Structure formats: structure tokens, C-alpha cells
Amino acid sequence: MRLHVCAIGRIRKGPERALIDDYLARFDKAGRALSLGPCLEHELDDRKATTPAAQAKLLEKSIPDGAELIALDERGQVMSSREFAQHIATRRDAGISDMAFVIGGADGLDPDLRDRAHKLVSFGAMVWPHMLARVMLSEQLYRAATILAGSPYHRD
């Protein structure tokens, strides 16, 4: 199953970019044997779309047809890392070929796009900057692959 991180905003060189690149490269290596990956990142220029509705149009274009849509949103379900990994595995085993994670801009996701999502996921009650949310998602994708592979990276 291919994974897609579809996010508003471009992350330039710096610590966030380095972390995302590292975790997604690790995910691709760990996920290969699990029929997961690659994980493709779709960065969308927020200068051309300044409202959540305009950003939703850009995000929709980056989501592959038939993809399971997971929206990162503060109203979403808080999941443990094991639950997150199990959700990915369950959808992979159900024959889903693409899973797209969408991250909105500073003002969040457009309600219509959020309502179309198959699942809403939250990283907790706190609000996180959308660029940091992308780092956190990248790490959790790698962690999910290591959990499914039985690697010692994740400790209970």
C-alpha cells in the first residue's frame, strides 16, 4: 500500500525537513517487507491558496483516486501508536492500494474535506503547528512500520 502525505506548505531546508526526510526514508526501508510504501510527500504551495476552501482544492488534486483519506485534525480520534499501526495494517490487508494523510494549513482543514475523510486522527488536545504535525506524522508512520515488523524501536 502506497502512503501519501498531502500537506499545505513547503518545508525548506532545516531541522524539520531533515527529520521528515529521515523518517520517511526509514519508513520506506522498514515498510518494504510489509507491503507498505513508498510514502510520497505532496507539498502544496500555500501562497496560491490562502483559505481552507482554496487549500482543500489543492489537497484534493494530490489525493490519488480511491485512496483511503485520513485527515489530521484536532477533532479527530486520539490513537496509540499500536492502534495507528493496526489501522494501517487492517486497511492494507483489506486491499486498499493508497492511503492519503492530509494536513491543512494554519487555519486547519476545510469542513467539506474533513467530512469526506474516512478517519480523523488527532495528535492530542493541544494544537500543533502544521509543519510540526508533518514531522510527527512521519515519525508515527515509521513507528507503525517498526511495530508491524516486530522491531524493538517501539517500546511499551
Contact between residue 110 and residue 104 where contact means Cβ atoms under 8 Å apart: yes
CB 87 within 8 A of CB 96: no
Give residues with Cβ within 8 angstroms of 155, minimum separation 6. none
Number of structural domains found in the chain: 1
140: helix, strand or coil: helix
Q: Is there a domain that residue 154 lies in?
A: no
At 79 the pLDDT is 97
* Residue 8 pLDDT: 95
Q: Is residue 156 part of a domain?
A: no
Query: Whole domain around residue 36: which residue ranges?
Result: 2-149
* Tens digit of each residue's pLDDT (9 = 90 or more) over 99-120: 999 999 988 999 999 999 999 9
What CATH number does residue 127 fall under?
A: 3.40.1280.10
124 phi-psi bin (left φ>0, alpha ψ -120 to 50, beta other)? left
- The verdict on pTM exceeding 0.85 is yes
CA 146 to chain centroid, in Å, comes to: 16
Task: Please provide residue 98's backbone torsions phi and psi, each rounded to the nearest 5 degrees.
Answer: -140, 140
Q: For residue 155, tell me if it sits in a domain.
A: no
Question: Sign of the CA dihedral 36, 38, 115, 106?
Answer: positive
Residue with cell 483519506: 69
Residue 39 DSSP one-character state: E
Instruction: Please give the grid coordinates belonging to residue 89.
Output: 495494517
Whether 80 is covered by a domain: the verdict is yes
Q: Which residues pair with 40 in a beta bridge?
A: 4
DSSP 94: T
Residues of the chain with pLDDT below 50 are none
User: For residue 32, what pLDDT is reported?
Assistant: 96
Q: Model confidence over 55-69: pLDDT tens digits?
A: 999 999 999 999 999
